[in-house]
Amino acid sequence: MTKSGQLAIRHLEKSYGDKPVLEGINLELNSGEFVAIVGKSGCGKSTLLKLAGGLEKPGSGEILVGSKPLKGLNTSARIMFQDGRLFPWKKVIDNVGIGLKGNWRELASETLKQVGLADRSEEWPSVLSGGQRQRVALARALVNEPDILLLDEPLGALDALTRIEMQRLIEKLWKERRFTALLVTHDVDEAVALADRVVLIDNGKIVMDKVIPIPRPRQRDHAKFAALSGEILRKVMGEESIHSIKALGGER
Ligand SMILES: Nc1ncnc2c1ncn2[C@@H]1O[C@H](COP(=O)(O)OP(=O)(O)OP(=O)(O)O)[C@@H](O)[C@H]1O
């Protein structure tokens, strides 16, 4: 893995107008590391991802990619969003190969094969299921072998089973390709299933950075899985909200 898979976020602040969104963010990802960011809605997760991708500029602080300060778009990274953002007027293979030159068709076909869609390359995105569309979006994000993959709630719109299948696919491709992954998710189980470290943002600040010591491939019935996931969920929601959810007969 090249050094450009390293990501260092230092003393980062971001405000929109006079509203602070992120404050004093310090986060380092080694090349090939998988880090998940969790936190309540509106805590600043997506903003942090956009900053890492160079889609937004920090108010102060810096982001280093490899050892170089990020200026403009992060060309070592690709971003995958919840809605896939496929072009409906382009066939699946053309969506995957967009922006590529040379032997792009071969590369795009090979990547589609790796996401299990070799036989759908000549179809339009509109005839695919939501899960299949996200497979195409994943293929498009990975086709050019980025050093860093930024995932903004990429599985948020999928049903529970498809979601778990996609998590396994992302983990498999991450193991094979060893890109650095930064995943924003609402789903604490997803974070525990995939990440080497889970980072919790609360009110614009990092309040927890937890190593997940469960061996891979991770099984959800592993002795530590539920305990770790429960511990993180309690921190995300605050102990009091968990008690009230329990009192209402909700989960965990
Ligand atoms: N372009 C923008 N202009 C103004 N405010 C913004 C902008 N983008 C985000 N915000 C605000 O910044 C805060 C953090 O937003 P962000 O999207 O990062 O949260 P999030 O944790 O990803 O939320 P969710 O989980 O609901 O997607 C929110 O209060 C949001 O309204």
Look at residue 1 in the predicted model and tell me its pLDDT: 47
| Positions of the chain with pLDDT under 50 | 1, 251-252
**Residue 227 Rama label (left phi>0; alpha psi -120 to 50; beta):** alpha
In a domain, 108, yes or no: no
Q: How far is the CA of 82 from the centre of ligand 1 (A)?
A: 15
21 lines ligand 1 (CB under 6 A): yes
Q: Supply the range of the domain harboring residue 159.
A: 3-76+146-247
DSSP class of residue 191 equals H
Rounded distance between C-alpha atoms, residue 90 and residue 98, angstroms: 9
> Which residue lies with its CA nearest to atom 12 of ligand 1?
21
> Which residue lies with its CA nearest to atom 31 of ligand 1?
42
In a domain, 116, yes or no: no
Q: Are 208 and 235 spatial neighbours (Cβ–Cβ below 8 Å)?
A: yes
In a domain, 131, yes or no: no
Name the pairing type of β-strands 7-16 and 77-81.
Answer: unpaired
Three-state DSSP state, 96: helix
> Which residue lies with its CA nearest to atom 10 of ligand 1?
16
In a domain, 92, yes or no: no
Q: How far is the CA of 119 from the centre of ligand 1 (A)?
A: 38
13, 14, 16, 48, best to mutate for ligand 1 pocket (most atoms within 8 Å of CB): 16
45 lines ligand 1 (CB under 6 A): yes
CATH number of the domain at 71, please: 3.40.50.300
39 lines ligand 1 (CB under 6 A): yes
pTM of the model: 0.93
Number of domains in the chain: 1
In a domain, 91, yes or no: no
In a domain, 106, yes or no: no
In a domain, 94, yes or no: no
**Residue 85 Rama label (left phi>0; alpha psi -120 to 50; beta):** left
Look at residue 84 in the predicted model and tell me its pLDDT: 83
> Which residue lies with its CA nearest to atom 28 of ligand 1?
42
46 lines ligand 1 (CB under 6 A): yes
Q: How far is the CA of 63 from the centre of ligand 1 (A)?
A: 19
Rounded distance between C-alpha atoms, residue 152 and residue 182, angstroms: 8
Closest listed residue to residue 33, CA positions, set 153, 140, 183, 143: 183
Q: Are 168 and 176 spatial neighbours (Cβ–Cβ below 8 Å)?
A: no
Cis omega (within 30 of 0) on the bond before 20? no
146 lines ligand 1 (CB under 6 A): no
Look at residue 247 in the predicted model and tell me its pLDDT: 64
185 lines ligand 1 (CB under 6 A): no
Rounded distance between C-alpha atoms, residue 152 and residue 103, angstroms: 29
In a domain, 13, yes or no: yes
38 lines ligand 1 (CB under 6 A): no
Give the residue carrying structure tokens 């190969």: 97
- Please report the atom of ligand 1 found closest to the CA of residue 56: 1
